[in-house]
A and B are shown apart, each in its own frame.
Chain A
Amino acid sequence: MYRYDQYDQSIVDARVEEFRDQVARRLSGALTEDQFKPLRLMNGLYLQLHAYMLRVAVPYGTLNGRQMRMLASIARKYDRGYGHFTTRQNIQFNWIELADTPDILADLSTVEMHAIQTSGNCIRNISSDQFAGAAADEVTDPRPWAELLRQWSSFHPEFTYLPRKFKFAVIASDEDRAAMRLHDIGIRIVERDGEHGARIFAGGGMGRTPMVSHEIKEFVPLSDLLPYLEACLRVYNRYGRRDNMYKARIKILVNDLGAEEYARQVEEEFAGLKALDLDPPKAEFDRISAYFAPPAFETSLSDDIDRRDPDFAVWLDQNVRTHKQPGYAIATISLKPVGGIPGDATAEQMEVMAALAERYSFDELRVTHSQNVVLPHVRKADLYAVWQTLREAGLAEANLDLISDIIACPGLDYCSLANARSIPVAQKIATRFADQKRQKELGELKLKISGCINACGHHHAGHIGILGVDRKGTENYQLLLGGSGAEDVSLAKITGPGFDEDGIVDAIEKVTDLYLEQRTEGERFVDTYRRIGMPAFKEAIYG
């Protein structure tokens, strides 16, 4: 994985000292909250429902054991012993004190981490495929490009005050594990005639106005990627709505202009930029790329796995995926124990994951947008030992992509923007469907819950989505069906009137019962929904 050079380190260190001074001035009264707020947000520090919240960047979800140990240390030393992995592949600490924040950022800097680009109207943390570098279906590792984008976008003077926040995703495989089409700009690296290039999608996003992105360019040679993206941002920066924050995202611009016209303007801008020869030097990309060279995989390893322990076999079948290297596998650590808080991990659990990465996965971990953690390169022969350790740490839930593998935002329990609680609903659903055989019978079922219309819980992209709203001071939950953030991307639709906390769980049972009754061979829940349509599900729910 990427390692800082002297420039990266000096930039981050300087930023820490700058923020230390800003915090001191805030505490002394030299800065008002209005003056300080944009400065703290640029360093990932929010003021949430109960306290300050610090969001730490995990670029494209990749981190090593040392970094995970530092997150554990911060949880223990400055917070309340845990952290919350987010749908942007980052981590949040919920109980931070303002005066501690510069020291936390200084600690993070010692392991090449920071909280830059986790808030504000800038280009946010670049997201990517959690299986990058390990997936059997990728044409190349997308992370060198994600890292190049990170370096290009960090403190980019032209794009620090965009009309609104801006999210990129980079993938390089058929299967979309990063919800790429629901980003402001999605990049899919493909191969054409032996050359790698990028398909570019613009104008996607969730939030209060969910939209699937449009393909605006079917092949950009990778040597042109940065100037092309610079052109995309320039057109947005010039014409994005700054008068109305609810209409300021690029999806609104692309929708208003039309994808074709937006693409035409990008081409025009690109032509001007290309002439300036601003492409990054090949040597610099090669330097970055070298950090992502495949680890020293052993060859001639056996693919056999001893499945005699039935509990291990269940986990193996559910949480382990095919690796491109024979003898290796990709293991997903579920942070969704039944009845637990989706995405939360204690400091001790973080240390367990760090130790497993160091011992069994070439010191690599990945955070997924589904709020789980991945060990990307595990020898198949080591999987049983990994599972045993995970089980002891309460991390061996065998539910990847099943109904209890729920994405849930922090909701009203923590978030000042939320209208309803998400976590208790997730807990009730997971408990109702806790039986492993029942979950397995239901098969792949992506259930996603947001506590407000901002959609941090990706409810529009759920096969089943839940949106919490405020009905005259009472929590109410709308049910949505038919969404997907994967390669079969679609936006979920609301079924009808909402429910209370228990009612929404009952409603989900009704739709899953209908699915079991109506499905044909090989159909997932979302496939059956698409085939038989909303009316049948409405009938099952509302009678």
Chain B
Amino acid sequence: MKLLSGNDLKSGKVVWWTGQDWSLHIEDAVDTGDQGEAIAHAEEGARRVNVPYVLDGVMTPEGPRPAHIKDRIRALGPTVRPDLTLKPADPDAGNWVI
């Protein structure tokens, strides 16, 4: 599957394309098929996202996940600071990252 990600222009936070909007949570991401580049172009033009790019993903029982470790770390947060990830209270949150 193909995922679309970028950074929020104002905050810089990592965001994922949900089909309608952008979400901080990888679980909300959808397969963009072959539309990723076109969506990225339109959304960047509308200043709803910064530096968007299409990446490979895989569907897991827990939801979509980026295929590459770099994007998985982007999706969750730094592996060395679980308190700063999107799921600071979940000790298993990072198990899919590495």
B7 touches A341 (CB 8 A): no
Q: Which residue of A lies closest to B46 (CB)?
A: A29
Of the candidates B12, B68, B70, B81, which one forms a contact with A51 in the assembled complex, judged by CB atoms under 8 Å apart? B12
Bound complex: CA of A412 vs CA of B78, how far in Å?
8
Q: Is A49 an interface residue (CB 8 A)?
A: yes
Number of residue pairs A-B, CB distance < 8 angstroms: 66
A421 and B79 form a contact (CB under 8 A):
yes
Q: Does B12 lie within 8 Å of A80, measured CB to CB?
A: no
A424 is an interface residue with CB less than 8 A from chain B = yes
The listed residue (B10, B14, B68, B80) touching A98 by CB distance below 8 A is B10
A399 sits at the interface (CB 8 A): no
Complex interface bits, A83-107 against B, C-beta within 8 A gives 1, otherwise 0: 0000000000001111100000000
Q: Are A97 and B12 in contact (CB under 8 A)?
A: yes
Give Cα A475 to B98, complex, Å: 9
CA distance A475 to B9 in the complex (A): 30
Question: Are A99's CB and B73's CB within 8 A?
Answer: no
Asked if B74 is at the interface (CB within 8 A of a chain A CB), the reply is: yes
Q: Assuming A47-B51, A427-B80, is B69 touching A97 (CB within 8 A)?
A: no
Instruction: Report yes or no: A33 in contact with B51, Cβ–Cβ below 8 A.
Output: yes
Contact A97-B10, Cβ < 8 Å, known A412-B70, A413-B80: yes
Question: A543 in the interface, Cβ–Cβ < 8 Å?
Answer: no
Closest to A341 in B: B80
Nearest Cβ distance between residue A76 and chain B, in whole angstroms?
14
B69 with A474: CB separation less than 8 A: yes
- CB distance B73 to A473 under 8 Å? no
B10 touches A99 (CB 8 A): yes
Chain A contact patch, size range: 20 to 34
B60 CB within 8 Å of chain A: no
Q: Please encode chain B, from 1 to 31, with 1 for each CB lying within 8 Å of some chain A CB and 0 for all others.
A: 0000001011111100000000000000000
Residues of chain A with a CB closer than 8 A to B47's CB: 27, 29
Say yes or no for A445: interface residue by CB 8 A criterion: no
CB-defined contacts of B51 to chain A, threshold 8 Å: 33, 47
| B44 / chain A contacts, CB cutoff of 8 Å | 33
Which residues of chain A are near B13, meaning CB under 8 Å? 50-51
Q: Produce 1/0 per residue, B58-98, CB < 8 A to A.
A: 00000000011110011001111100100000000000000
Q: Flag if A412 contacts B10 (CB, 8 Å).
A: no
In the assembled complex, A52 has its CB within 8 A of some CB on chain B:
yes
Contacting residues, chain B, for A360 (C-beta < 8 A) = none
Separation in Å of the A429 CB from the closest CB of chain B? 14
Q: B74 — which chain A residues lie within 8 A by C-beta?
A: 49-50
Q: Which residues of B contact A97 (CB under 8 A)?
A: 10-12
- Does A424 contact B11, Cβ atoms closer than 8 Å? no
- CB of A96 within 8 A of CB of B80, answer no
Report the bound CA distance from A424 to B69 in whole Å. Answer: 14
If A99-B10, A413-B78 touch, does A49 touch B50 (CB 8 Å cutoff)? no
The contact string, 1 if C-beta is below 8 Å from chain B, for chain A 410-438, is: 00111000110101100100000000000
B interface residues (Cβ-Cβ under 8 A, vs A): 7, 9-14, 44, 47, 50-51, 67-70, 73-74, 77-81, 84
Chain A to chain B: the 4 pairs with minimum beta-carbon distance, closest first:
A52-B12, A51-B12, A413-B78, A423-B80
Could you write out 6 A-B pairs with CB less than 8 Å apart?
A: A33-B51, A47-B7, A413-B78, A414-B78, A427-B80, A473-B69
